Copies of this chain bind each other. A is one copy, B any other.
Amino acid sequence: MAKRLSPEVYVQGILAGDRVTLSRAITLVESRLPADQELAQQVINQVLPHAGNAVRIGITGVPGVGKSTFIEAFGSYLIREQGKKLAVLAIDPTSQRTGGSILGDKTRMESLSVNPQAFIRPSPAGKSLGGVTRSTRETIILCEAAGFDAIIVETVGVGQSETAVHAMVDFFLLLMLAGAGDELQGIKRGIMEMADAIAITKADEHNVLKAKAARVEYQNALHLYPPTASGWIPKVSTCSALQLTGLDTIWQNITEYLQLTRANGYFEQKRRHQNLQWLYEAIRQSLEDNFYARPQVQAQLPAMAQAVKDGEKSAFAAATELLKLG
């Protein structure tokens, strides 16, 4: 990577909104090198007082739901109609997989990627979920300090990354296809209950009626869910990235949510809770990384795990033995 700069140079560049410096700081955050990480932490701690002013929106949906097209359309709407500066980040620990990463192929967001008010950053390659979520969370801070006031964090709705995204955003938007049934295949159970809003995508041409029917069905289903801690009632709407319809409704849902939760104190409370959550999460991650990196543990874990799986050894006894190693 490029030569390291002093923390002050990064901080000044970020606060001035310089995209090149921002990119280089994010690269530091994503680096595994201890010297980079230390520098990254200095930069983050210095810009931290300037962060926190964006609305953080998590967006998920299974492949095929039209996520990139939606973000392209919705992101452009936010910039054009709402005067936002937008950063789009991705949490995708499997971005190396064949079949294409969600943001690796930037051409899928052609107009956003050349929009001077947008900043698109793909998921760091070759990292574990823990690594990706940590760097994405810190990238949010850097982007906010650089003046971006809308952050979209994108994830695929098939893994464990939704919980991580949910823990770093203010508002969680689930994209769904019309016609309840088969297309639910792949959406992990529990994700629907995390959604602050569901948007039925591709509500255009011959899909319009189907999308409207799906909207009613989901709205009814959500009524049966337990109430949210925020006091917010999750909304369901339809949209078309092709015809640019329904984007204003989604934005209106988000602003109503922000008004409600800022007024009742939930917004601030959630942000503070998220901060704390990330502290404990970082500690846990680090303790586990150190433990599982021990050579003796690496040597004995596979056989031990097999014995536990097979019911030959109790989980707790195996854990005790492993913890006694080096």
Residues in B whose Cβ lies below 8 Å from that of A44: 314, 316-317
Considering the chains assembled together, what is the distance between the CA atoms of A316 and B271 in angstroms? Answer: 16
B141 pairs with A323, CB closer than 8 A: no
A258 to chain B, nearest CB (A): 18
Interface size on A, residues (CB 8 A): 65
A279 pairs with B319, CB closer than 8 A: yes
Residues in B whose Cβ lies below 8 Å from that of A141: 314
Which of B45, B137, B187, B188 sits near A313, CB closer than 8 Å? B45
Considering the chains assembled together, what is the distance between the CA atoms of A291 and B304 in angstroms? Answer: 24
> Taking A48-B311, A190-B190, A193-B190 as contacts, is the C-beta distance between A278 and B226 under 8 angstroms?
no
B308 pairs with A226, CB closer than 8 A: no
A31 to chain B, nearest CB (A): 13
Q: Is A221 an interface residue (CB 8 A)?
A: yes
Q: Do most interface residues of chain A lie in helix, strand or loop, or is the interface mixed?
A: helix
Q: Is A244 an interface residue (CB 8 A)?
A: no
Considering the chains assembled together, what is the distance between the CA atoms of A184 and B141 in angstroms? Answer: 37
Q: Is A9 an interface residue (CB 8 A)?
A: no
B48 pairs with A185, CB closer than 8 A: no
Chain B residue with Cβ nearest A304: B279
Interface string of A272-290 (1 = CB under 8 A from B): 1101101101111011100
Interface string of A191-227 (1 = CB under 8 A from B): 1111000000000000000000000011011011111
B282 pairs with A315, CB closer than 8 A: yes
Considering the chains assembled together, what is the distance between the CA atoms of A48 and B313 in angstroms? Answer: 7
Considering the chains assembled together, what is the distance between the CA atoms of A295 and B190 in angstroms? Answer: 38
Residues in B whose Cβ lies below 8 Å from that of A308: 275-276, 278-279
> Taking A45-B313, A317-B44 as contacts, is the C-beta distance between A283 and B224 under 8 angstroms?
no
Residues in B whose Cβ lies below 8 Å from that of A318: 279, 282
B226 pairs with A224, CB closer than 8 A: no
A319 pairs with B283, CB closer than 8 A: yes
Q: Is A300 an interface residue (CB 8 A)?
A: no
A48 pairs with B320, CB closer than 8 A: no
Chain B residue with Cβ nearest A321: B41
Residues in B whose Cβ lies below 8 Å from that of A291: 283, 287
A166 to chain B, nearest CB (A): 11
What are 10 inter-chain pairs, A to B, with CB distance below 8 A? A134-B316, A137-B315, A185-B227, A189-B225, A220-B221, A276-B305, A278-B316, A279-B318, A287-B291, A287-B323
Given contacts A279-B304, A282-B318, A283-B319, 14 further A-B contacts (CB under 8 A): A41-B317, A45-B313, A138-B316, A180-B224, A184-B224, A186-B226, A190-B190, A272-B311, A275-B309, A276-B308, A284-B284, A286-B320, A287-B287, A287-B323
User: 10 nearest interchain CB pairs?
Assistant: A282-B319, A278-B315, A221-B224, A279-B315, A287-B287, A189-B193, A184-B226, A272-B309, A41-B317, A279-B308
